[in-house]
């Protein structure tokens, strides 16, 4: 009896607490969006704790089920579990990026160990894995739909890739390697930060500022003040400092000094040297993939990507390499000619490239941003994006004042399909503020899926840091910002048009080398002359953007693309070379890098965009064997857009195929299969070469 009354009391307290916490209630709002007007910071922590508890109960219901494991009672049940936790996490982490405060930052820190323990308890639950494995072993005879097969495959592999199939000893080894790797990657990042911060180019004689624009000099004077060098000028190894110095400084010896300091970060034989860390990380990753049954780390990383295996990545990189390198050589020759013409008695070096590129740009492709901005008022660009999406897919966006907002600067739209039916909700939040992190991104508060026969629609959001209105002028965007808007709306529409059953593979839950196709393809419409003529109107006169300006924008976009492509591809090859090693005993990082670059014939005047000791994407971010994916996605978007260009810009038949096979399909099939269904052929890299002016 005592136990029973305790239980009743327990659940009573719990329901009182949860009854007051809006994050734990049904959202009684239009379309079930989060009730932002009711959520207070103190609601988060209790909501997270309760949500984890509910999640554990759901997992326990799966593992304690006395019925034999089936797709429904195990795989689907697992995918639907944790809904409350997703809901709370989405609100918290989206707002921590878009509208944070000190308390939220503190909560985020407290949450790290709690959530990581919660996740690893589930990932290492042997009963749960045993049930999933039983379903997996029977998959051939279960008569699953393609979507169910994909979900089962994704979930099963996630466990296996985390070591679920290993014996206890190997599991312990794997955990040790993982711990060591995360320590090393942390150390790599710290060393790099120290190396970046430790160097300063201090200029005391104003003659050494020759060539630098006023704004750059003013920035350097501010940096000097901060560094306790008042009255002098300081340049650092942060990009906004060294890049303009390299572009404009007439002092060749100083350009050399700062550029060498930049590209030797982590390679200075001091306490911040990253060579031994790179060696250890490559060794451990190779060991780890061997333990899990893969030939090398790249095989392991690419298994669930569109590229599937390293050879496919190399094939693509090398297809682009030759045309890019020959273009870069032409660009170098042009610069050498300029050097000779000016009587410079030297050969173009890597620290000269930015300087001469800037001079040539000025001479031939001078595009003044202030000239284009008046044609890209925020309202016009938004109308342009809506125009493109309505023309292609028939969707419309209606402002809705009933929907609660998390910040007064945000806006909410109801998205409707061509027959007027509700398709989802989208927030837009455009301008910088202190509580928002930098950059632009697309995210969601709720992903489309079907639960108990009911279709749950997407609640998405795009968050940007676009130029603000000034004085009596509306917000006027740069051309870059304009394309960013189209890009993020591509991600948003990928989520909004999703038509899948299971949340784990719906919407944008697709491989990293595929997820940028829907976003990047939108930029092509945004930059197309016929579309520009529709939306890019002068904010005062209403005149459409003139042809000369469109041509200038296009030419400027193709400028220096040999260099940009070569430095990017070189870094991608370096990444793949490290991670396709199958056995590593000793690794001399500088020698390895040199051999790697010699093999592809990189010229001396260009270095890889990232050299090994400061390649943080692959040694302290999540991009190992994945740096290639930016250009992989660009091959897809250029090839896909070409299908429209070759027929008509808004070809309805193609648009409906793109919607059906790409945008609505989420991760319900193999990305290459989906692409083939849309395009009828494999992607051809020629379209990218053409777009970058490399053919
Ligand atoms: Zn993107």
Instruction: Provide DSSP, 440-473.
Output: -EEEEEE--EEETTEEEPEEEEEE--PPPPBTTB
For ligand 1, the distance from its centroid to the CA atom of residue 492, given in whole angstroms, is 10
Distance of CA 461 from the midpoint of ligand 1 (Å): 13
* pLDDT given at position 116: 87
Q: What is the mean pLDDT of residues 267-283?
A: 98
6 confidence band (pLDDT: 50, 70, 90): very low
The alpha-carbon radius of gyration of the chain (Å, integer) is: 27
**Longest distance between any two alpha carbons in the chain, whole Å:** 99
Distance (Å) from CA 629 to ligand 1 centroid: 11
How would you label 475-491 residue by residue, b for 16+ Cβ within 10 Å and e otherwise? bbbebebbbbbbbbbbb
Reported confidence tier of residue 454, pLDDT bands at 50, 70, 90: very high
Q: Which of 606, 597, 598 is nearest to 566 (CA)?
A: 606
Rounded CA gap, 257 and 244, in Å?
Answer: 14
> Encoding tokens for residue 637?
């978007």
- Identify the pLDDT of residue 13: 53
For residue 37, pLDDT over 70 is answered with: yes
Q: Report the separation in Å between the CA atom of 460 and the middle of ligand 1, taken as the mean of its atom positions.
A: 14
Which of 462, 457, 522, 459 has its CA nearest to residue 655?
522
Q: How far does residue 491's CA lie from ligand 1's centre (Å)?
A: 7
User: pLDDT-derived band of residue 11, with 50, 70 and 90 as boundaries?
Assistant: very low
Q: How far apart are CA 327 and CA 693, in angstroms?
A: 9
Interval 309-364: pLDDT, tens: 999 999 999 999 999 999 999 999 999 999 999 999 999 999 999 999 999 988 88
Mean pLDDT of the chain: 95
- Average pLDDT for residues 564-590, to the nearest whole number? 97
pLDDT at residue 1 above 50? no
Ligand 1 geometric centre to CA of 650 (Å): 22
**DSSP per residue over 264-308, as a string?**
TTT-SSSTT--HHHHHHHHHHHHHHHHHTT-SSHHHHHHTTSSS-
The alpha carbon of 310 and the centre of ligand 1 are apart by a number of angstroms equal to: 23
Interatomic CA distance for residues 497 and 662, integer angstroms: 10
Strand 422-429 relative to strand 441-446, pairing: unpaired
Most confident range, picked from 106-115, 238-247, 494-503: 494-503
If you measure from the C-alpha of residue 628 to the centroid of ligand 1, how many angstroms do you get, rounded to a whole number? Answer: 15
CB 331 within 8 A of CB 563: yes
Residue 529 has pLDDT above 60, yes or no: yes
**413 sits in which H/E element:** strand 411-416
Q: pLDDT over 90 for what percent of the chain? A: 90
For residue 2, what pLDDT is reported? 38
Residue 15 pLDDT level (bands cut at 50, 70, 90)? low
Task: Give the CA dihedral 575, 576, 580, 586, nearest 10 degrees.
Answer: -30
CA gap 660, 369 in Å, rounded: 38
pLDDT at residue 398 in the model: 98
Q: Which two tokens stand for residue 431?
A: 């301008």
Residue 172 has pLDDT above 50, yes or no: yes
Helix intervals (H) in 378-455 = 378-393
Could you give the CA distance from residue 294 to residue 160 in angstroms, rounded to a whole number? 12
Give 489 Cα–ligand 1 centroid separation in angstroms.
9
Q: Give CA separation, 692 vs 247, 257, 555, 559, 688, in Å.
A: 22, 31, 10, 8, 6
pLDDT above 80 for 397: yes
Q: Tell me which residues are annotated as active site.
A: 488
User: Which pLDDT score, from 0 to 100, does residue 48 have?
Assistant: 98
Per-residue pLDDT, 8? 41
Mean pLDDT of 571-581: 98
């Amino acid at each position: 009896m005592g136990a029973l009354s305790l239980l009743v009391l327990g659940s009573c307290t719990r329901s009182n607490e949860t009854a007051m916490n809006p994050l734990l209630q049904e959202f009684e709002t239009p379309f079930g969006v989060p009730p932002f007007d009711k959520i207070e910071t103190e609601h988060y922590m209790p909501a997270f704790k309760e949500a984890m508890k509910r999640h554990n109960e759901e997992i326990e219901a799966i593992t304690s089920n006395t019925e034999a494991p089936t797709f429904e009672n195990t795989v689907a049940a697992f995918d639907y579990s944790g809904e409350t936790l997703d809901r709370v996490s989405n609100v918290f982490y989206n707002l921590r990026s878009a509208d944070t405060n000190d308390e939220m930052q503190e909560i985020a820190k407290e949450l790290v160990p709690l959530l990581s323990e919660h996740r690893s308890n589930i990932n290492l639950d042997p009963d749960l894995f045993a049930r999933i494995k039983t379903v997996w072993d029977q998959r051939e005879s279960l008569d699953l739909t393609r979507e169910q097969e994909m979900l089962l495959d994704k979930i099963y592999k996630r466990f296996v890739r985390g070591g679920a199939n290993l014996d206890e000893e190997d599991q312990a080894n794997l955990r040790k390697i993982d711990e060591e790797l995360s320590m090393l990657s942390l150390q790599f990042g710290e060393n790099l930060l120290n190396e970046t911060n430790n160097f300063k180019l201090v200029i005391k004689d104003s003659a050494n500022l020759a060539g630098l624009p006023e704004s750059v000099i003013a920035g350097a004077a501010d940096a000097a003040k901060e560094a306790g060098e008042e009255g002098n000028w300081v340049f650092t190894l942060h990009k906004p400092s060294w890049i303009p110095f390299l572009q404009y400084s007439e002092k060749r010896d100083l350009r050399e000094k700062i550029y060498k300091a930049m590209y030797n970060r982590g390679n200075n034989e001091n306490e911040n040297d990253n060579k031994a860390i790179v060696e250890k990380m490559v060794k451990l990753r190779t060991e780890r993939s061997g333990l899990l049954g893969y030939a090398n780390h790249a095989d392991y990383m690419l298994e669930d990507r569109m590229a599937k295996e390293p050879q496919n990545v190399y094939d693509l990189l090398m297809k682009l390499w030759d045309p890019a390198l020959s273009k870069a050589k032409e660009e170098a020759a042009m610069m050498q000619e300029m050097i000779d013409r000016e009587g410079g008695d030297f050969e173009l070096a890597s620290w000269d490239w930015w300087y001469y590129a800037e001079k040539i740009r000025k001479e031939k492709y001078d595009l003044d941003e202030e000239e284009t901005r008046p044609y890209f008022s925020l309202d016009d660009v938004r109308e342009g994006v809506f125009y493109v999406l309505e023309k292609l897919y028939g969707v419309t966006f209606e402002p809705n004042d009933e929907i609660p907002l998390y910040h007064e600067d945000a806006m909410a739209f109801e998205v409707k399909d061509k027959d007027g039916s509700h398709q989802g909700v989208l927030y837009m939040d455009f301008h910088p503020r202190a509580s928002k992190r930098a950059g632009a991104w697309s995210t969601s508060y709720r992903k489309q899926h079907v639960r108990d026969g009911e279709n749950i629609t997407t609640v998405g959001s795009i968050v940007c840091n676009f130029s603000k209105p000034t004085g009596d002028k509306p917000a006027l965007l740069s051309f870059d910002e304009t394309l960013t808007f189209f890009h993020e709306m591509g991600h948003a529409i990928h989520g909004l048009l999703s038509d899948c059953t299971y949340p784990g593979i719906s919407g944008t839950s697709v491989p990293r080398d595929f997820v940028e196709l829907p976003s990047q393809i939108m930029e092509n419409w945004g930059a197309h002359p016929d579309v520009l003529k529709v939306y890019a109107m002068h904010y005062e006169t209403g005149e459409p953007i003139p042809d000369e300006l469109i041509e200038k924008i296009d030419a400027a976009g193709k400028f220096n693309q040999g260099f940009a492509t070569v430095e990017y591809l070189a870094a991608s090859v370096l990444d793949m070379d490290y991670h396709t090693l199958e056995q590593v005993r000793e690794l001399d990082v500088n020698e390895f890098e040199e051999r790697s670059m010699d093999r592809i014939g990189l010229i001396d005047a260009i270095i890889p965009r990232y050299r090994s000791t400061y390649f943080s994407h692959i040694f302290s971010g999540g991009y190992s064997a994945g740096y290639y994916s930016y250009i992989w996605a660009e091959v897809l978007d250029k090839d896909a857009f070409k299908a429209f260009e070759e027929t008509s810009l808004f070809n309805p038949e193609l648009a409906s195929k793109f919607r059906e096979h790409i945008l609505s399909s989420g991760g319900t099939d193999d990305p290459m299969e989906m692409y083939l269904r849309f395009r009828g052929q494999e992607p051809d890299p020629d379209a990218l070469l053409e777009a970058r002016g490399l053919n």
